Chain A
Amino acid sequence: MDVLQLFVSGLANGCVYGLIALGFVLIYKATEQVNFAQGDMMMLGAYVTLGLHNAQFMGLPFWVSVPIAIGTMGLFGYVLDMLVLRRMFGQSQIAVVILTIALGFVFRFFAGLIWGHEPVALETPFAGRYVPIGPLVLGLDEVVIIGVTIALTVGLYFFFSRAKLGIAMQASSQNQLAAYYMGIPVKRVNSMIWGLAGAIAAIAGILFASKGTIDPSIGLLGIKAFAAAVIGGFGSLPGALLGGLVVGIMEPFASRYITAGYALIMPYLLLFLILVFRPHGILAQMHSKKV
């Protein structure tokens, strides 16, 4: 029973990591840019919701503030790409990495400036309630997180396989030039992908905030999610979710059965081993060129 309980709480954590990792991979696949600020975008998403919903700020109803926050972050991602990232088109990847790390610093500063550095809790309607399922007692927040992640995954699957825009995104991520020749507005599609990643980051942020308190430095969680993305395979969307789940499920078990000092380093140790033995992740989509 204990094991199942640990499994579910790990699963809920893993879903949040997976969603952040999904944002990384979306952007990477489409534009070959690595967005290290994805974790900070998640943090912003959580704070925007908090600013709209919590009584001390604007006090809007929860179900009104959530869509507004998601929309805001989507727009934020779109504008960020339009104004900043688009200028980096064709420059080296590492320059983009450094740029997004710097942007992360800036986001964290402004979040701290606006909403303060003290940990605050988002007042969700499902905090502190429990659902008994058979002999298990699950937090409602965990159930919601897992449910939302499944729904979002299914939604994204149909979006990428059926919707015109989703197929255009796939096309431009496979070959930008060919997509451009086919009449796809690659620049706008890229910005839309950033917007989509922003919206997903906002959802991840809201889900994360529903599990506990948040402060501006939770963006550093992005690094763990990043590890998750690489473990799963950096070029594949299902891989990102899988990696997130692996890291999330591993954590509670590691802290339960391994000495405290070693438990913390498990995700990174796994990341390092994966990189050494399977450099392109569990679900690899890369090929090496020979001379």
Chain B
Amino acid sequence: MRTLFKTSYDADINLFRDGRHAMWYGLLLAIAIVLPFVLGDFELGEVAHVLIWAIAGMGLMILVGQTGQPSLGHASFLAVGCYANVILQNDYGVPFILSLPIAGLIAGLAGVAIALPTSRLHGIYLGIATLAVSVLTGDLIVIAEPVTKGVFGLYAPQITIFGITIDRYGNPDRFYWLILAVTVIVVLLYKNLLRSPLGRSFAAVRDSEVSARAMGVNIPRTKAVSFGLSAGITGIAGALMGHYTGIFNNETFNLIMSIQLLLMIVIGGLGSIHGAFFGAIVVALLPQAIVFVRDTVSAVAGTSSVAIPGMETAIFGIILVVFILFEPMGIYGRWVKIRTWFELFPFARRDMFRRQRSYLKTERMR
């Protein structure tokens, strides 16, 4: 068991707790950087997929995990970012290095635009409003057909940064590094946000709106900023997702995707960056894992491989039910428990992580 002696106030908010902590993350980054030399093209594509979902997950995590505002409509911001990015490049000839942040900015402004009228809503009502936004998005894309090409969809162009061409299939290693770079930037941004006054006010709004207001936090503004940041990051993920899939139309970013995003961060663990990554691993790799298990089973059993339609979402659903019932803090929460058990061995107690249940908590008087 290690004990951390804090010798300055900065020790509370430093990016890394101590040298060992920094070393582990450095090692993780180094492994991530050399990955293209080890993995094949297909596996690399899957890892890139996981990273894109993780960026989107971090975007949603700022809103749900940090500010406590549920959103069932984040696929809309994926769509805004994706469309803005490709339209800027195709129709206005903006280079990728500019169109990506601008797409994020546009998505962020869209987020603020939705947050302002809904700032009076909380809890389930906000969820419903964002759900309506999510349903509307697909139809709005069809209505805005002259720009978005409606049901025919758009093709993402090849990326060129300073004369280096990056293509998802032509050179997947460069595409992977690009996404990795964006991921690292977003993680740093997120981590720094948490230690800034803004991040603290997010947490205050999440834990109690009434007491946050009493402490002088401007609630509508905080919510709008949180929505904007969250939508912006999700928009960047959407832009990358557009380049990853290559083609997309009004049905790509549907309600199911919004729900999947929310479910993803819940499985991963709400309120932590790790949670976004764990959840992304589950969501992005589950289809492959199911195919793999099915093929293995049918190879062992000697039968032909049978595909059951809807299997994927059902297994996803069952995993989710199990997590919410037995481990509401998600994969990351379980990991923290296991780690604490080892760190404190043999002094860990069963009740250390017991949550308080508030039976009298009601939404009717707020």
The answer to whether A and B assemble together is: yes
Chain A interfacial positions (CB closer than 8 Å to B): 32, 34, 84, 87-91, 93-95, 97-99, 101-106, 108-110, 112-113, 117, 176-177, 216, 223, 226-227, 230, 234-235, 261-262, 264-265, 268-269, 271-272, 275-276, 279-280, 286-289, 291
Closest Cβ neighbor of B133 among chain A residues:
A272
- Beta-carbon contact of A177 and B136 below 8 Å: no
Cα separation A264 to B360 with both chains bound (whole Å): 40
Mind listing 30 A-B residue pairs with CB under 8 Å?
A: A32-B362, A84-B321, A84-B325, A90-B359, A95-B324, A97-B70, A97-B72, A97-B124, A99-B324, A101-B259, A102-B321, A106-B317, A106-B318, A108-B310, A108-B313, A117-B310, A177-B360, A223-B255, A226-B131, A227-B128, A230-B125, A261-B139, A261-B143, A265-B136, A268-B135, A269-B136, A271-B128, A272-B133, A286-B364, A291-B213
Stretch from B25-33, B113-121, B189-197 contacting the other chain: B113-121
- Beta-carbon contact of B366 and A289 below 8 Å: yes
- Beta-carbon contact of A105 and B317 below 8 Å: yes
- Beta-carbon contact of B128 and A226 below 8 Å: yes
Residues from chain A with a CB closer than 8 A to the CB of B120 are 279
Residues from chain B with a CB closer than 8 A to the CB of A223 are 131, 135, 255
Cα separation A104 to B72 with both chains bound (whole Å): 15
Which residues of B56-102 have CB atoms within 8 Å of chain A's CB atoms? 64, 70, 72
Q: Does B341 contact A (CB under 8 A)?
A: no
Residues from chain A with a CB closer than 8 A to the CB of B313 are 105, 108-109
Cα separation A288 to B119 with both chains bound (whole Å): 14
Chain B interfacial positions (CB closer than 8 Å to A): 64, 70, 72, 117-118, 120-121, 123-125, 127-129, 131-133, 135-136, 139-140, 142-143, 210, 213-214, 255, 259, 262-263, 266, 308-311, 313-314, 316-318, 320-321, 324-325, 328, 357-366
Closest Cβ neighbor of B143 among chain A residues:
A261
- Beta-carbon contact of A112 and B309 below 8 Å: yes
- Beta-carbon contact of A287 and B135 below 8 Å: no
- Beta-carbon contact of A235 and B364 below 8 Å: yes
- Beta-carbon contact of A227 and B309 below 8 Å: no
Given contact pairs A87-B325, A102-B263, A94 touches B210 in the complex (Cβ within 8 A): no
Residues from chain A with a CB closer than 8 A to the CB of B361 are 90
- Beta-carbon contact of A291 and B210 below 8 Å: yes
CB distance from B201 to the nearest CB of A (A): 16
CB distance from A75 to the nearest CB of B (A): 20
- The residue that B320 contacts in the complex, of A93, A98, A113, with Cβ under 8 A, is A98
Residues from chain B with a CB closer than 8 A to the CB of A84 are 321, 325
- The residue that A109 contacts in the complex, of B143, B262, B317, with Cβ under 8 A, is B317
CB distance from A199 to the nearest CB of B (A): 23
Cα separation A102 to B325 with both chains bound (whole Å): 12
Residues from chain B with a CB closer than 8 A to the CB of A110 are 314
CB distance from B135 to the nearest CB of A (A): 5
CB distance from A285 to the nearest CB of B (A): 8
Residues from chain A with a CB closer than 8 A to the CB of B140 are 265
- The residue that B117 contacts in the complex, of A89, A102, A276, A288, with Cβ under 8 A, is A276
- Beta-carbon contact of A265 and B139 below 8 Å: yes
CB distance from A63 to the nearest CB of B (A): 32
- Beta-carbon contact of B121 and A279 below 8 Å: yes
- Beta-carbon contact of B136 and A268 below 8 Å: yes
Closest Cβ neighbor of A281 among chain B residues:
B125
- Beta-carbon contact of A94 and B124 below 8 Å: yes
Residues from chain A with a CB closer than 8 A to the CB of B324 are 88, 95, 98-99, 102
CB distance from B257 to the nearest CB of A (A): 13
- Beta-carbon contact of B139 and A275 below 8 Å: no
Residues from chain B with a CB closer than 8 A to the CB of A287 are 364-365
- Beta-carbon contact of B128 and A230 below 8 Å: yes
CB distance from A99 to the nearest CB of B (A): 5
- Beta-carbon contact of B263 and A98 below 8 Å: yes
Cα separation A291 to B210 with both chains bound (whole Å): 6
- The residue that A276 contacts in the complex, of B118, B214, B321, B362, with Cβ under 8 A, is B118
- Beta-carbon contact of A89 and B135 below 8 Å: no
Q: Which 9 A-B pairs have the closest CB atoms?
A: A109-B314, A105-B317, A90-B357, A102-B320, A102-B317, A276-B117, A268-B132, A106-B317, A94-B70
Cα separation A216 to B127 with both chains bound (whole Å): 24
- The residue that A91 contacts in the complex, of B118, B213, B328, with Cβ under 8 A, is B328
CB distance from B60 to the nearest CB of A (A): 12
Closest Cβ neighbor of B326 among chain A residues:
A87
- Beta-carbon contact of B70 and A103 below 8 Å: no
Residues from chain A with a CB closer than 8 A to the CB of B359 are 89-90, 176-177
- Beta-carbon contact of A32 and B132 below 8 Å: no
Cα separation A178 to B10 with both chains bound (whole Å): 49
